[in-house]
């Protein structure tokens, strides 16, 4: 208890961050920077931020923290858990690595690495995530090797092995760009071996009560999908475009249609 009180008193910054730990406090200099090493149940906090970790190195003159082991951040409605983290106290930004899990309002993110910083725009933060990235955004699963989100433009960019899955629909491509208007998607562009799947349920035989999943397949060098009020309004297949879709009458399969061309426009009504 005495150690905990001493650390709290000696490490109050002008920025009102407070430090607390159960273990040792060691202070030393390296490259003319004063470093405080804290161990065991380390906690760093102010009115809007809480950090917890097993071991912390506080680089005092440059307001930078290195946090190692079982690291957790709570900032307003954001919660981040990872193995280790670098946090810049005066910039409200961080680099997290190792089993990164970020939870925000209506969004969850998992990745190997994450650069994350606060903004003054709609979501209050932007990020760049690397390695096995998946994002659960409302009812959509978004996946790629690299995903970035710019809160100022409300654009999310997916690079390498991009995929978006929602209900009975899937989009695949090398790269995908998603434009948001606040919490809703307004536009998606898929480029590089672009493919879209629409899964429907249909009767194969009129007298049968059983339904089978059928997949409409759309392809092109690029695919543009326009939304309004979270419903698809139009899909445009561009260059080397093809579409294979199932014709139904009251849920009964009537046949399969195919179409090819340089440009294919598909209009939707009531998201169908």
pLDDT in tens, 195-250: 999 998 888 888 888 889 899 999 999 999 999 988 899 999 999 999 998 888 88
DSSP state string for 26-79: EEEEETTEEEEEEEEEEEEE-SSEEEEEEEEEEEGGGTEEEEEEEEEEEETTEE
For residue 203, what is the DSSP state? B
Comparison of pLDDT for 94 and 15, the residue scoring more: 94
Q: Which residues 6+ apart lie within 8 Å of 149 measured at CB?
A: 123, 126, 127, 155, 156, 157
CA gap 166, 196 in Å, rounded:
11
pTM of the entire predicted model: 0.89
Would you say residue 3 has pLDDT above 50? no
The beta-carbon contacts of 70-75 under 8 Å, at least 24 apart in sequence, are 71/96, 73/49, 74/49, 74/50, 75/48, 75/49, 75/50, 75/118
What residues pair up with 219 in beta bridges, in sequence order?
195, 242
Mean pLDDT of the chain: 90
Give the model's confidence band at 271: pLDDT under 50 very low, under 70 low, under 90 confident, else very high: low
CA gap 272, 165 in Å, rounded:
16
CA gap 226, 243 in Å, rounded:
17
CA gap 35, 126 in Å, rounded:
29
The two structure tokens encoding residue 18: 């407070």
Mean pLDDT of 9-37: 80
The two structure tokens encoding residue 176: 């995908």
Element (H, E) at 205: none
pLDDT in tens, 46-72: 988 999 999 999 999 999 999 999 999
């Amino acid at each position: 208890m005495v150690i905990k009180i001493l650390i709290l008193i000696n490490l109050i910054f002008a920025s009102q961050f407070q430090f607390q730990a159960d273990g040792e406090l060691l202070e030393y200099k390296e490259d003319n920077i004063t470093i405080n090493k804290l161990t065991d149940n380390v906690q760093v906090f102010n009115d809007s931020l809480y950090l917890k970790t097993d071991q912390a190195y506080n680089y005092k003159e440059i307001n930078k923290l290195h946090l190692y082991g079982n690291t957790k951040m709570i900032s307003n409605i954001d919660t981040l858990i990872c193995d280790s983290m670098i946090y810049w106290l005066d910039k409200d930004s961080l680099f997290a690595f190792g089993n990164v899990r970020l939870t925000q309002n209506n969004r969850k993110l998992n990745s190997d690495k994450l650069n994350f910083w606060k903004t003054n725009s709609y979501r209050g933060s932007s990020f760049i995530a690397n390695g096995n990235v998946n994002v659960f955004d409302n009812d959509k699963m978004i996946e790629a090797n690299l995903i970035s989100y710019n809160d100022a433009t409300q654009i999310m960019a997916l690079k390498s092995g991009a995929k978006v899955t929602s209900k009975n629909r899937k989009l695949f491509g090398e790269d995908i760009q998603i434009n948001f208007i606040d919490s809703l998607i307004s536009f998606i562009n898929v480029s590089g071996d672009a493919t879209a799947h629409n899964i429907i349920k249909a009767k194969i035989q009129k007298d049968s009560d059983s339904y089978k999943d059928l997949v409409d397949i759309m392809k092109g060098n690029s695919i543009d999908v326009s939304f309004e009020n979270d419903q698809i309004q139009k899909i445009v297949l561009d260059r080397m475009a093809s579409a294979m879709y199932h014709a139904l009458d009251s849920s009964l399969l009537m046949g399969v249609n195919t179409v090819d061309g340089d440009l294919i426009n598909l209009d939707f009504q009531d998201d169908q």
